[in-house]
Amino acid sequence: MAIHFRTRIRLPDHSNRKYSGYFLSICRIFSKSLSETPYDPPFSPVSKLQKAKKKKIQDGNSNSIKNSTLPLHSDLPFDFFYSYSETNPSVNPIGYRESPKFSPFGPGRLDRKWTGTSAPSEVEVKINEVLEERKRILGDPLSEEEVAEIVEQYRHNNCSRQINLGKGGVTHNILDDIHNHWRRAEAVRIKCLGVPTLDMNNICFHLEDKSGGKIIYRHINILLLYRGRNYDPANRPTIPLMLWKPYAPIYPKLVKNVADGLSFEETKEMRGRGLNSPPLMKLTRNGVYVNVVERVREAFGFEEVVRLDCTHVGSSDCKRIGVKLRDLVPCVPILFKDEQIILWRGKRDREEDVNS
């Protein structure tokens, strides 16, 4: 016979419990302190709000100081472009993707007018004075021992004084980065990648011309830019920064329906031959293209059409590579399709082969 036992548990009743007057008074004081400011978030003391208000007042004063010095004036003796190495001033755009009145330097922040592609200097440049000032800053040439010491200090991959130069090339804001490094170091290491590496001479020219420094070391895509013996960081030039990247203007069409010097049928045949031919090279995204120009020139010695495999490079970079090769080789781009670049060596070589 089973016997069941029932147990009853009695819980304490706190409904009639009276709290002490000391505890209630503390709760009233704490709730009153929180309710004095309507914007006080929960569980945060009032003192933090007062500090935040003081910071806002200080920030407002700093902004007013900055606004009092606007518009900025720069004595740099050249026109401001977004990219100096990747822009050809001799080619005029046929249209704009945004209105030229929107300056990338910001409204009212620069005393130069933005034309859609550049901010030209309004002061007449005295080239002789500029060259003399740069010679004074560079000082006496470095000896071989001094160059070797600087190169050994900055040429390694773990160098902290490095600037990565990408597909934008020598941009305007990179000039400010260079002078910021020159405040604490006498040289800066520049690593170049992407489309600009097709023409390293162009990059070296613009780095020296726009920054006023001297390239003392060059190995494939690695550069060392020296600031000069008499460089004074306190007297560095004023470089207004671009607040955003401007939209690229619209330029004339790169590839024509019918190539110059060929008929429609011949152009179609050239394109078919190029697509069916084996690729001369396979380019990677943000790679080093230092030897591409020489390889294409050598290939045009025994081939009339050359194909470059640019898979995963991107359509925009493919067109930039085509423009660079057109001017450097020189050659004629006749097709951009499925990230493949088809180049024709041109009519002159073709006529010489027929005559011979």
Measure the CA angle with vertex 28, ends 27 and 32; round to 5°.
115
Measure the CA angle with vertex 283, ends 279 and 288; round to 5°.
140
3-state secondary structure of 95: strand
If you ran DSSP here, which 8-state letter would residue 90 be given? T
Q: Which two tokens stand for residue 330?
A: 């020189």
What's this model's pTM, rounded to 2 decimal places? 0.78
Q: Which two tokens stand for residue 87?
A: 């822009």
The per-residue b/e assignment along 91-109, b for 16 or more CB within 10 angstroms, e otherwise, is eeeeebeeeeeebbbbeeb
The per-residue b/e assignment along 155-187, b for 16 or more CB within 10 angstroms, e otherwise, is eeeebebebebebbbbbbebbbebbebbeebbb
Tokens 């007449």 -> residue? 124
Give me the pLDDT at residue 124, please: 86
3-state secondary structure 166-203: CCCCCEHHHHHHHHHHHCCCCEEEEEECEHHHHHHHHH
Alpha helices in the chain (DSSP H): 21-35, 46-68, 127-138, 144-154, 172-182, 200-211, 264-276, 292-299, 315-328, 347-355
Measure the CA angle with vertex 268, ends 262 and 272; round to 5°.
130
Question: What are the residues facing 281 on neighbouring strands?
Answer: 308
Helix axes 200-211, 172-182, angle to 10 degrees: 60
Give me the pLDDT at residue 335, please: 94
Query: Up-side HSE of residue 39: CA atoms within 13 Å toward CB?
Result: 6
Give me the pLDDT at residue 166, please: 93
Give the chain's domains with CATH numbers: 80-226 (3.30.110.60), 253-344 (3.30.110.60)
Question: What is the chain's pLDDT, residue by residue, as a tens digit (356 residues)?
Answer: 454 545 555 555 555 555 555 555 565 555 554 444 444 444 445 444 444 444 444 444 334 334 447 888 888 999 999 999 999 999 999 999 998 889 999 998 999 999 999 999 988 888 899 999 999 999 999 999 999 999 999 888 888 899 999 999 999 999 999 999 999 999 999 999 999 999 999 999 999 999 999 999 999 999 999 999 999 999 999 999 999 999 999 999 999 999 988 999 999 999 999 999 999 999 999 999 999 999 999 999 999 999 999 999 999 999 999 999 999 999 999 999 999 999 999 876 445 554 54
d(CA 307, CA 296): 9
- The dihedral through the CA atoms of 230, 231, 234, 239 has a sign that is positive
Residues 6+ apart with CB under 8 A from 335: 255, 271, 274, 275, 341, 342
d(CA 229, CA 136): 9
Give me the pLDDT at residue 159, please: 87
d(CA 45, CA 65): 32
Q: Which two tokens stand for residue 115?
A: 């034309």
Give me the pLDDT at residue 25, please: 59
Give me the pLDDT at residue 22, please: 57
